[in-house]
Amino acid sequence: NAGVTQTPKFRILKIGQSMTLQCAQDMNHNYMYWYRQDPGMGLKLIYYSVGAGITDKGEVPNGYNVSRSTTEDFPLRLELAAPSQTSVYFCASSGGSGTTIYFGEGSWLTVV
Amino acid sequence: GNSVTQMEGPVTLSEEAFLTINCTYTATGYPSLFWYVQYPGEGLQLLLKATKADDKGSNKGFEATYRKETTSFHLEKGSVQVSDSAVYFCALSEGGGATNKLIFGTGTLLAVQP
């Protein structure tokens, strides 16, 4: 009963470092998403994917990259970490248009 | 563009009090509306949803009615418990959209005191 699994849960990065947040879902969902949540704010969409090999930008894509080589996995790449990327990151998935979106437990990232 | 506006928090209530968290939206077309709940240190969980006007979503004693005439989806619960303390997010999904993206409000922190 895993659902959406994110790793790591916590990470501290230095400015300029790179890292990848991993996301995997076991529900055979076509749609996957990455959101970020800043303190006291709602979630903002970074990137999304409607199927393997297809990705598109959301509201706040700058500084991030994604890939979707399989249905199950949707990693988020930070190339040159900046303090402005300190946030909580949520991966999510859904079966398609109009269906419920399920969220992972979040990844807390601090850039110092 | 589409947007969601929620009442500012935090909301502090005593146990067994009545809860209302206001949510209004701006959207073209016919969005689906959602309430998500985030307990401390956890991810978001779907609390309830409504997909068309006049629908009432309900779960765990919470209710919200999709009001197209007032573009609102207020969350209510008759008697809150300490365990309801969490952040509540109102969200919309553009009706008929191929991408099923959610647009979130800023969230409302609810603190219930015994």
Distance CA B10, CA B21 (A): 10
Distance CA B17, CA B82 (A): 11
Write down the mean pLDDT value for chain B: 91
Who among A50, A100, A105 is closest to B43 (CB)? A105
Judged by DSSP in three states, A76 sits in: strand
Average pLDDT over residues A85-107: 90
pLDDT band at B96 (very low <50, low <70, confident <90, very high): low
Question: Quick check: B101 and A48 CB within 8 A?
Answer: yes
Chain A residue numbers with beta carbons less than 8 Å from the beta carbon of B46 are 100-102
Distance CA B68, CA A63 (A): 38
Beta-bridge partners for B65? B56
Question: Quick check: A90 and B44 CB within 8 A?
Answer: yes
Average pLDDT over residues A68-86: 96
* Predicted pLDDT of residue A108: 94
pLDDT band at A40 (very low <50, low <70, confident <90, very high): confident
* Helix, strand, coil shares, percent, chain A, to 5: 5, 50, 45
Q: Is the pLDDT of residue B79 over 70?
A: yes
Distance CA A22, CA A77 (A): 9
Judged by DSSP in three states, A83 sits in: helix
User: What distance in Å separates residue A103's CA from the closest CA in chain B?
Assistant: 6
pLDDT band at A107 (very low <50, low <70, confident <90, very high): very high
Q: Is the pLDDT of residue A87 over 80?
A: yes
Chain A residue numbers with beta carbons less than 8 Å from the beta carbon of B99 are 31, 48, 50, 56, 97
Chain A residue numbers with beta carbons less than 8 Å from the beta carbon of B102 are 33, 43, 45, 101
Residue of chain B whose alpha carbon sits nearest to that of A40: B106
Who among A56, A100, A104 is closest to B43 (CB)? A104
* Predicted pLDDT of residue A93: 95
Distance CA B46, CA A85 (A): 26
Count, residues in chain A: 112
Distance CA B7, CA B74 (A): 10
- Residue B90's Cβ-side half-sphere holds a number of Cα atoms within 13 Å equal to 29
Q: Which of B45, B113, B41, B108 is nearest to B82 (CA)?
A: B113
